[in-house]
Amino acid sequence: MSKFWSPFVNELTPYIPGEQPKKDNLIKLNTNENPFAPSPKVIEAIHAATNESLRLYSDPEGQSLKQTIANYYKLKANQVFLGNGSDEVLAHVFHALFKHDNELPILFPDISYSFYPVYCGLYSIHYESIEVDNKFQINVAGYFRANSGIIFPNPNAPTGIVLPLATIRQLLEQNRQSVVVVDEAYIDFGGESAISLIDKYPNLLVVQTFSKSRSLAGLRVGFALGQADLIEALERVKNSFNSYPLDRLALAGAEAAIKDDVYFNNICQQIIENRDILINALESLHFKVLPSMANFLFVTHKQLDASQLATNLRDKGIIVRHFNKPRINQFLRISIGTKQENQSLIAALADIIK
């Protein structure tokens, strides 16, 4: 606290990201990064863009990347919004679409992405969290009430549980008065995207990221897809905040990533395979594993304290994520690694258990 601060700063509760360790040779299964390298074509494109043109600003509209994403998902370029990571996209969503002058709260699950309440704090948005059921499933009927907006990840984080498209459609049928945001950070690992519903529902916004399925967490590129009218609201806020959220290298790399569909499908498929193998191995060690359609697993063990287990794993050079929060403090979130990393994890756990 300081007399120099704007007063509202005292009231903020910032998000705490998972650790990015300075030490090498840790097995890092704590922030859901992709264990595979980005496509070689992405690296080439970034190399090619690394030249004297860096003295010039990047395209403020990111038009070429927007068009590439639009073509890929069979939309129009004015249905695509770009941001510096999907976290920035989400921040603009809260500001541009969720902040209304009424008493109605926005709604999201109690077990969900912990950045949502942080944005509510930043922009003074009233929210209510809706409990997931005792199997940690989102119950959409809980959202059939007056609200200023609805947001949830699909698959949900940190549970990994996916909502079928038919259920999302049901929610959209019931909720036409406010924006419904589906945060699809993990959709490419087996879930069904809501993008196909955009044409029919003017209040649907789908948010995706290059950080997870396209192995580009360090490049910081995220995007939103929706009808042009929603996108325009986001552009207005973005252009009141930062004209150039994506730099030249990010624009070039992201475009190459979308264009290398073969590589993308291949690594997503490998993660799905590795997920199945890891689930079996964890279940043989008597872990309970929630059904995951993401690149991580949410697991608990009757005999082992989750926080202690995270510490024991860290001592063995493996980091996973523990959330010290109600309902989930006996769970660990474990990102799916390479086959070798997953084997090391299982070996370490077997050792701790015996």
Ligand X SMILES: *Cc1c(COP(=O)(O)O)cnc(C)c1O
| Site membership for ligand X, residue 188 (CB under 6 A) | no
Long-range contacts of 254-257 (CB under 8 A, 24+ apart): 254/65, 254/210, 254/214, 254/216, 254/219, 254/221, 255/45, 255/64, 255/65, 255/68, 256/39, 256/41, 256/42, 256/44, 256/45, 256/46, 257/38, 257/39, 257/41, 257/42, 257/210, 257/214, 257/216
Q: Which of these segments, 42-50, 85-93, 121-129, 259-267, binds ligand X (CB under 6 A)?
A: 85-93
- Segment near ligand X (CB under 6 A); pick from 66-74, 187-195, 209-217, 257-265: 209-217
Instruction: Select the residue interacting with ligand X from 34, 68, 86, 203 (CB under 6 A).
Output: 86
Question: Of 254, 18, 234, which Cα lies nearest the Cα of 113?
Answer: 18
Report the nearest approach of ligand X to the CB of residue 284 (Å). Answer: 28
Q: Do β-strands 106-109 and 149-153 pair in parallel, antiparallel, or remain unpaired?
A: parallel
Site string for ligand X, 103-142 (x = CB under 6 A): ----------x-----------------------------
- Both tokens of 307, joined, read 């926080």
Q: Say whether residue 62 binds ligand X (CB under 6 A).
A: no
Q: Does 147 bind ligand X (CB under 6 A)?
A: no
**Contact between 331 and ligand X (CB under 6 A)?**
no
Q: Does 217 bind ligand X (CB under 6 A)?
A: yes
Among 68, 59, 5, 70, CA closest to 231: 70
Which one among 211, 292, 295, 342 touches ligand X, defined by CB under 6 A?
Answer: 211
Q: Determine the Cα angle at 112 with ends 7 and 150, to 5°.
A: 80
Per CB under 6 A, 342 contacts ligand X? no
Check binding of 33 to ligand X (CB under 6 A). Answer: no
Task: Find the angle CA(185)-CA(294)-CA(349) to the nearest 5 degrees.
Answer: 130
The reply to whether 253 sits near ligand X by the rule CB under 6 A is no
- Tell me how far apart the alpha carbons of residues 351 and 293 are, in angstroms, rounded to a whole number: 28
Stretch that binds ligand X, among 84-92, 124-132, 159-167, 299-307 (CB under 6 A): 84-92
In the complex, the smallest distance separating the C-beta of residue 194 from ligand X, rounded to whole angstroms, is 14
Q: Which is nearer to ligand X, 268 or 349 (CB)?
A: 268
In the list 149, 222, 253, 337, the residue contacting ligand X (rule: CB under 6 A) is 222
Backbone angles phi and psi of 158, in degrees to 5: -95, 20
Min dist. Cβ of residue 124 to ligand X (A)? 21
Binding site residues, ligand X, CB under 6 A? 32, 85-87, 113, 153, 157, 183, 185, 209, 211, 217, 222
